Amino acid sequence: MDSQAIRDKTVLVTGGAGFIGSHLVEALAPHNEVRVLDNFSSGDRSHLPDDVTIVEGDVGDPIALQEAARGVDVIFHHAAVVSVSRSVDAPRRSNETNLEASLLLLEQARQEDARVVVASSAAVYGHPDELPISESASTEPTSPYGIQKLAVDQYTRRYAELYDLETVALRYFNAYGPRQQGPYSGVISTFLEQARADEPITIEGDGEQTRDFVHVSDIVRANLQAATTEATGEAFNIGTGSRTSIRSLAETIKAATDSSSPIVHRDPRPGDIRHSGADISKANRRLGFESRVSLESGIQSLVDGTRLSPMEANAEPASDSMREGNPAR
């Protein structure tokens, strides 16, 4: 499927100045009229192209949302409190943004008859019963964040069934890439910061836990495909299909940065999920999605400060070369 297929549309990206949202806006802007709704609590205005329309406000504000969504064809919903720890510390506050505002957005989409592509999360699965994780796996989230994402995920699919609204939920695994920063950024950006400063690269636990790291350009491509697919009313895993141990990740980043940082371990986080990895066969079959950026090249691009465009036709498929030696069953 051509990832540039969405053209000449009026689109809204909530959280469009944030990490994933801003990359999506950049991909959409050359061929569409793009609006961004963001309260800039964590997003950066400088990440946005000059020719997009910015509505500064909260997605939970009905007036701001109505202004931003008026007449749109597609809404990409990325506004959220993305921190598990913040959801644990303040579950009601994160629920207002992650769930209540999302329900408000779905209602607004009904008024506009706009397709909605929602950023869901692998957090909906909790501790997986088997690997890789398919969309039919049990959903037992372990945090308020995961619970909220699961509720939004279910609402998104039910709105297609009950109200004939075109919706797609994308369950992102461990996203990484440029602009991922701040106290709640992912482990890759944290390890890179430590390695560049020649500070200890700090692993929580024994480092044998595994994750499926997916580059933001792959996530953007999945969003563009979801905007045109006929497979609406469904949820799709978005990852690479490969798992990498945290210890292997730390060693790769240390080598890529030519860092003298020692790799050290500290106590594991309570309740941390041991293994996570996506089965992306459904997304491949129904969306035409495949991961094109290997973890090695993704990390190297961050070290070099180069960009990987979601439109690059010759980007390499994600390799299995960093998959851990003993997959969990």
Can you tell me the mean pLDDT for 183-193? 85
Q: Is 176 a catalytic residue?
A: no
Q: Is 328 exposed, middle or buried (0-12, 13-18, 19+ CB in 10 A)?
A: middle
Q: Reply yes or no on whether the pLDDT at 329 is more than 60.
A: no
**Candidates 145, 155, 159, 176; catalytic one:** 145
pLDDT band at 271 (very low <50, low <70, confident <90, very high): confident
pTM for the full predicted model:
0.92
Confirm or reject CATH 2.160.10.10 for domain 10-304, answering yes or no: no
Report the percent of the chain where pLDDT is more than 90. Answer: 85
Can you tell me the mean pLDDT for 310-326? 46
Can you tell me the mean pLDDT for 259-272? 92
Q: Reply yes or no on whether the pLDDT at 3 is more than 50.
A: no
- CA-nearest of 26, 22, 5, 73 to 224 is 5
Where helices occur in the chain by DSSP H, the ranges are 19-28, 62-69, 84-89, 91-95, 101-112, 144-163, 187-196, 216-226, 246-256, 281-287, 295-304
- Per-domain residue ranges of the chain: 10-304
Sign of the Cα torsion 231, 232, 235, 238 reads: positive
